[in-house]
Chain A
Amino acid sequence: EAGVAQSPRYKIIEKRQSVAFWCNPISGHATLYWYQQILGQGPKLLIQFQNNGVVDDSQLPKDRFSAERLKGVDSTLKIQPAKLEDSAVYLCASSLDRRAGRGALHFGNGTRLTVT
C-alpha cells in the first residue's frame, strides 16, 4: 500500500510569513494526525482528525496555526504568521483502527520547516 504522502519536504521562510503543509494519508485511514517534532525532542501532537471532524486540537496554537481535512481525506496545516520557534519537522500520521489508540501510527517523511 502507498504510504502517507507529505509535501513539501523542506521549506525555508522568514518570520511573519505564512506557510502551508499538505498531507495525503493511507487510503481508508479514518484518523489523521499532525505532529510537531522540534530538534532533539519527540513528536508532539498538534491536532487529530477523525474523518473530517476535529477530535483533539488542545495543543494547537490557534492564534497562528490552523488545519483542515476536507472530505475526510487530504489535510492541510497552515502557520500564519510564522515565528522562529516554529522551526521543526511537521509530521503527518494516519491510522486505520477506529479505536485509534490501539492501532499503530503510520507516519509520512515530514516537512522540515526553517524560519529565519
Chain B
Amino acid sequence: AQSVTQLDSQVPVFEEAPVELRCNYSSSVSVYLFWYVQYPNQGLQLLLKYLSGSTLVKGINGFEAEFNKSQTSFHLRKPSVHISDTAEYFCAVSDQQIPGKSTFGDGTTLTVKP
C-alpha cells in the first residue's frame, strides 16, 4: 500500500514569485509519480509524471518536479507564478505492479495574489 502526504494545505504567493509545493510518499514497492491540477468546478488535469529516467521532469504551464528516491519526495516547482495558476494541486502515486490504482494526497491550494 502507498500513502501520500502533501505537507502544505495552503500556499499563498505573490504573482511572479517562485513556488514549491511539497509531496512526500511512502511505499514498499517501486512507484510512478504524478502531479495533477484542479481548477474550480473542473476535473483533474495532468501536470506532469515521473515514470523512469531523469529525476527532473518538466510539465505543462512551466511546472517541473524532481523525484528524490532517498527522501521519497516529489516536489513541484515553478520559478514565476501567474494569477492563472491559482488552483488545487494533487500529488499521486501508483504502484508499478498494480496497474491504474493511484493514491492521491489531500491537495495543496495555491493562491497567487497580485
Q: What is the distance, in angstroms, from B100's C-beta to the closest C-beta of chain A?
A: 3
Cβ B104 vs Cβ A110 within 8 A: no
Place the interface of chain B in its size category: 20 to 34
Q: State which residues 54-95 of B face A: CB under 8 Å.
A: 90, 92, 94-95
Known contacts A42-B4, A42-B106, A104-B49; decide if A31 and B100 are in contact (CB<8 Å).
yes
Q: State which residues 34-70 of A face B: CB under 8 Å.
A: 40-45, 48, 55-56
Q: What is the distance, in angstroms, from A67's C-beta to the closest C-beta of chain B?
A: 15
Place the interface of chain A in its size category: 20 to 34
In the complex, which residues of chain A have a beta carbon less than 8 angstroms from the beta carbon of B49? 104
A6 to B4, CA, bound (A): 27
**Residue A79 at the B interface, CB < 8 A?**
no
Cβ B96 vs Cβ A101 within 8 A: yes
**Residue A95 at the B interface, CB < 8 A?**
yes
**Residue A107 at the B interface, CB < 8 A?**
yes
Cβ A4 vs Cβ B43 within 8 A: yes
Q: Which residues of B contact A (CB under 8 A)?
A: 4, 32, 34, 36, 41-46, 49, 51, 90, 92, 94-96, 98-107
Q: Which residues of A contact B (CB under 8 A)?
A: 4, 31, 33, 40-45, 48, 55-56, 91, 93, 95, 98-102, 104-110
